[in-house]
Amino acid sequence: MVLPEQFFAVAAHDRSRSGYVDYRSWSSRVGADAGETGGGVVGRKSRREILGAVIVALSVSACGSVGNQEPYYEESERTVGEQCTRTRDFFADGLGAKDAEIRWADYDSSRAIGMSALCVVWGDAMTRRGATTVWALWKGETARAHVSEDPLYRPLDGYGHDVWLKRELSGTHFAVVVGRWQGDLTVDTGGPFAAGRPLEMSEELERQSVEFLIELTDYVGK
């Protein structure tokens, strides 16, 4: 069964591993929220209210919808392996990081992406090259909060989709929204990238990065 977002505690991404979003800790979140009321009658009442809300939420069908209403979110049947392979190939062929590789031991490559998945690309000497993340957007959500609430992400025009760019010393971050899916791409440009040299993110590489991310996000959402 699927619960609305407010009933889940989203685990932080572990950038050194597969890092997909984990919603299994929602029950501890509910218990903690109830306990914060101070216990006693108020605490028991809050627990009853929360549990009542959870019971209502459990009426949501496995596809994330209630009756004929629009689903809360979509799920992708594409696999983590497909996402990671496409990401690695872009870093190797599009960005010139010929040593790009995926630590396949960190992933269940046959796992369906579902609501979200993270894929990290590594190079020689255990140096991270970058990563992609794909997210299903919640009903009514126009972009994930880490993009929509960060003023350093600036919009880019001319791509036919909502696109944002954020530059930092450590790397360049892209985000796109295609349908009800958001794709994120981080290219680590703060250190040696290819052939021992840092990557200079030119306008052409910026365009290629956006186009790759749009294609990946569209593929995951189909």
Per-residue pLDDT reduced to its tens digit, 106-129: 999 999 999 999 999 998 867 899
Which helix (H) or strand (E) segment is 78 a member of? strand 76-79
The CA distances from residue 121 to 32, 33, 156, in Å, are: 36, 37, 25
The whole-number pLDDT of residue 2 equals 42
Q: Comparing 40 with 74, which gets the higher pLDDT?
A: 74
The architecture (CATH level 2) of 76-221 comes to 3-Layer(aba) Sandwich (3.40)
CB distance 162 to 200 below 8 Å: no
Per-residue pLDDT reduced to its tens digit, 50-81: 555 544 444 444 445 445 566 678 999 999 99
CB distance 129 to 122 below 8 Å: yes
Indicate the domain borders of the chain. 5-11+23-57, 76-221
What is the C-alpha separation between 176 and 170, in angstroms, rounded? 20
What lies within 8 Å, CB to CB, of 36 at 6+ separation is none
